[in-house]
Amino acid sequence: MEKRQLGRSGLEVSAIGLGCMGMSAAYGAAMDRKEAITLIRSAVDRGITFFDTAEVYGPYANEELVGEALRPVREQVVIATKFGFDIENSAGFARKPISQPAHIRKVIEGSLKRLQTDYIDLYYQHRVDPDTPIEDVAGTIKDFIDEGKVRHFGLSEAGAATIRRAHAVQPLAALQSEYSLWFRDREKDILPLLEELGIGFVPFAPLGKGFLTGKVDTAQTFGDDDFRSKQPRFSAENRAANQVFVDVINGVATSKNATAAQVALAWLLAQKPWIVPIPGTTKLHRVEENIGATTLELNADDLAQIEAGLAGIRPQGDRYPPANAAMAGR
């Protein structure tokens, strides 16, 4: 598996990571625990070294799962987890961001215990807390790094000003935010800033929460325990309007003898050498399919075909419902 460095941090990871959230939450019923552990360990066997989780996934269950699965190979892998939601006093996508230093000091101990480790490779603030100066957050993580509890600091869905202020206190290794062929807003001000500061980029939902694989059509229904059922972009009407993204991707996939998922991931990898997407899945054959994207080379003509096919086209439907605006970051 090709390796990549996240910016100038020195943190080296596999070119494709594995987002573990869906094994415990968000897309329906949780996986059988033994099957999930087998899946994670099989991903390690195939060269994936970068695993993403968070205390809020479950909540807590996903960190426990990842910790158990990776304990035998702890020194061979990079574990990223996140803090920053008031889990005890709020629920679902309406959870309130909270990052007061005292709160972070409390919750990191729980994450370390669940992950069965004494250090976290990459510790993200999950969402910006508007009531806590980012300098206080960055200073707290700096203390953790000095104490050996954390090795690298990251932010998720943060805006340019916040990134710059945080980085001035404690250099950031990575920003994790949504980025894919159907959500490219990060290209305007975030990607240039990350390049300037030497910060890596970890796109979540690189396959559009499954849509860009071409496996989600207007006939599909989502259960109440699948968060896509509440996202405007996944209404049947918007799925029909957004089919153009899949059509363009499939056009390239056919010519490259590849799958739509592989093209969507290869496109991300082609944007910058410090971009490392973290597609999630509950199936081993999808892990293997995603790994195949690392050897799929999109040439200048392929990239131009994608750009021309999507020129002037905007995805229809917001990423989150109005009540969950905080999830979109700042």
For residue 59, is the peptide bond before it cis, meaning its omega torsion is within 30 degrees of 0? yes
Residue 103 has a CB neighbour count (10 Å cut-off) of: 17
Helix, strand or coil, per DSSP, at residue 197: helix
Q: Which residues contact 6 (CB under 8 A, 6 or more apart)?
A: 12, 13, 122, 152, 173, 174, 199, 200, 201, 202, 274, 276
Instruction: Give the C-alpha separation, 269 to 276, whole Å.
Output: 7
CB-count exposure of residue 300 (10 Å: 0-12, 13-18, 19+): exposed
Options 27, 57, 123, 179, the catalytic residue: 57
Could you tell me how far CA 139 lies from the centroid of its own chain? 24
> Beta strand 12-14 with 3-5: parallel, antiparallel or unpaired?
antiparallel
> Quick check: is 124 catalytic?
no
Ramachandran sector of residue 89 (left: φ over 0; alpha: ψ -120 to 50; beta: rest): alpha
Active site residues: 57
